[in-house]
A and B are shown apart, each in its own frame.
Chain A
Amino acid sequence: MSLPLLLFFVFALMAVLGAILLIVAREPIHSALALIVVMVSLALLYVLLGAEFIAAVQIIVYAGAVMVLFVFVIMLLNAGEEERTNWSRMAKYVGVPLAVVFLFWVAHWMAHAAVGATAGYAPGETFVTPSMTADLSKLLFTTYLLPFEVTSILILIAILGALVLAKREEKS
């Protein structure tokens, strides 16, 4: 069991436990914290795959900004509702077993996909090129320039939309 494999299992276990905690937690704030754990463990998995830049971006944007937004909304709305649903019989006896079967089928199919041959990751080896940031940005600004510009307009629209929606409307 080499060190990268051991680290993979540790981080994967962390991610799966976080996801299970998200489902099982009673308070929404605990679910939010569980999701942050999932995101951080995924960022560590990205580092294990050699994509350090994407790992840093994931933590800065996703875990450090989007989840802060979630936590703020939960805190401000005082979303303290504890949810206990009584699952319907259909869900209990048909839904969950079918979901588990489906999950195992997808996992089996993925595990035996043709991709399995290549690409492990030796310790100390980084991704394809040493200057990943430079190459990534070259790709972003040449081949994918149109999606890049469209995404920036999308963010602008999102900011304006959020501002308009969250402003308190004056009831006349």
Chain B
Amino acid sequence: MEFITQHPVLVVSLVKIAVLLFVVMTALAYLTWFERKVVAHIQSRWGPYYVGAHGLLQPLADGLKFFFKEDLTPPASDRLIFTLAPMLALALALTAIALIPFGPPSIQVLGQPVFIVSNLGVGLLFLFAITSMGVYGIALAGWSSNSKYPLLGSLRSSAQMISYEVSLTLSVVGVVLMAGTFSFNGIIQAQSGAIWHWNVFGIRHGGITQVVGFLCYLIAAIAETNRVPFDLPEGETELVAGFHTEYSSFKFAMFFMAEYANMITVSCLATILFFGGWLSPFPDSWTWQFYLPGALLLLTGIYTAFDSFVVLRGIARIQFAVFTLLLLGGGAICLHPAVAPLIQGPFWFVSKVFLFLFLYVWVRGTLPRFRYDQLMSFGWKLLLPVALVNLIVTALVIAFPWLGAHG
């Protein structure tokens, strides 16, 4: 026990990392389920419904499939780099999530903030550093496969990622100017107070709405993570399967997970930079909002109870009954007045990230794909100048505060 009290930083950090890793991997798995369900409903069909109730065990089935599939390596490839590329992609994607604050730094255990794994003074810049290294995973994967289609796909994808990276970082500098710091806590602190202080509305002293920056960021982020409508390098009908043609089973699963982890990171960044992070949209004086998470959990528990007793049959019924008990128990715990204020930060953060992920999946189900030259000209000729203009206007407003909004 003395070890824990003598080395609080080490112990609390290790626990936080373990919990975060577990939560992120589960979220990745269920993000795939969520995407398949939503895209299916957009396309007027049902999506996974067979494996477990409402298809909820589908990610487990997919994981088992990836585990047991045969792991092929192309004969003439560079074996070291072939194995290294997906590991690099996944490692970088998961490292980026460690920089993100999930809640206020004031909630502490043993003197260490609970919801923040690492608190760097230049956190935003480091996050961009990690995402800019993500190009290597794709470039090396395509090259080490020693085959035409993956090489072409990976070169296109890398060129796309590098181009949109410039617009990504430029569209965010307006937010940094308004907050005066690169650290995530500072940026969120600058947006505290009321919902109109959030950067996307920007109605505070010496501020201007960052809606243009937000739109630029969103488009650049979709391109950066190689999602539809920018997924030409890896689409199923283009270039066989792009840079991961030659990958099978677990290595392919690592690329898959890396892509979804990048999606989660970018959504988290969007909420922190433009939508106030873990801040609540309601004023702090409205104390009824403390019961919101518990109420939501209880409502979901009642819905699943109805589902398990009336609609489902067999094993799915048992599974959902267990689920119901968990939800009702969790909801009851969250309604307890000692627990409710603590989970406010993470609850609002997770809800906003969830809305952004839904937006991602919605865009995927709706829009067609860009052609490669359209994609590149859009990135360089439209997005970059718009981001630059946003930066100049924001800088002018910061320099001459009477130009911007008041209060």
- With A52-B122, A60-B128, A64-B135 given, can you name 9 additional A-B contacts, CB distance below 8 Å? A29-B81, A33-B81, A68-B135, A68-B139, A68-B158, A72-B158, A75-B139, A75-B143, A126-B121
Q: A30-B80, A68-B158, A75-B143 are in contact. Are A59 and B122 (CB under 8 A)?
A: no
B78 contacts the other chain (Cβ, under 8 Å)? Answer: yes
Expressed in whole angstroms, the Cα–Cα distance for A63 and B133 within the complex equals 7
Smallest CB–CB gap between A135 and chain B, Å?
12
B126 contacts the other chain (Cβ, under 8 Å)? Answer: yes
Smallest CB–CB gap between B148 and chain A, Å?
13
Q: Which residues of B contact A75 (CB under 8 A)?
A: 139, 143, 151, 155
Question: Is B128 a contact partner of A29 (Cβ separation < 8 A)?
Answer: no
Question: Is A71 a contact partner of B80 (Cβ separation < 8 A)?
Answer: no
Expressed in whole angstroms, the Cα–Cα distance for A131 and B130 within the complex equals 22
Question: Is A71 a contact partner of B140 (Cβ separation < 8 A)?
Answer: yes
Q: Is the interface of B mostly helix, strand, loop or mixed?
A: helix
Nearest B-chain residue to A40, judged by Cβ: B133
B339 contacts the other chain (Cβ, under 8 Å)? Answer: no
A19 contacts the other chain (Cβ, under 8 Å)? Answer: no
Smallest CB–CB gap between A104 and chain B, Å?
33
Interface, chain B (partner A; CB < 8 A): 78, 80-81, 84, 120-122, 125-126, 128-130, 132-133, 135-136, 139-140, 143, 151, 155, 158, 162, 180-182
Smallest CB–CB gap between B161 and chain A, Å?
9
Expressed in whole angstroms, the Cα–Cα distance for A52 and B128 within the complex equals 13
- With beta carbons under 8 angstroms apart, the residue of B121, B133, B139, B162 that contacts A59 is B133
Interface membership of chain A positions 54-90, coded 1 if the CB is closer than 8 angstroms to chain B and 0 otherwise: 0111011001110010011001100000000000000
Q: Which chain A residues (23-63) contact chain B, with CB distance < 8 Å?
A: 27, 29-30, 33, 36, 52-53, 55-57, 59-60, 63
Q: Which residues of A contact B158 (CB under 8 A)?
A: 68, 72
A130 contacts the other chain (Cβ, under 8 Å)? Answer: yes
Q: Which residues of B contact A68 (CB under 8 A)?
A: 135-136, 139, 158, 162
A133 contacts the other chain (Cβ, under 8 Å)? Answer: yes
Smallest CB–CB gap between B190 and chain A, Å?
14
12 contacts between A and B (CB under 8 A): A29-B143, A33-B84, A33-B140, A53-B125, A56-B128, A57-B125, A59-B132, A60-B132, A63-B129, A68-B158, A72-B139, A134-B180
Smallest CB–CB gap between B354 and chain A, Å?
29
A12 contacts the other chain (Cβ, under 8 Å)? Answer: no
Nearest A-chain residue to B126, judged by Cβ: A56
A14 contacts the other chain (Cβ, under 8 Å)? Answer: no
Nearest B-chain residue to A132, judged by Cβ: B121
Q: Which residues of B contact A57 (CB under 8 A)?
A: 125
User: Lowest 8 CB-CB distances: which A-B pairs, in order?
Assistant: A64-B132, A59-B129, A56-B125, A60-B129, A75-B143, A52-B122, A56-B129, A56-B126
Q: Which residues of A contact B155 (CB under 8 A)?
A: 72, 75-76
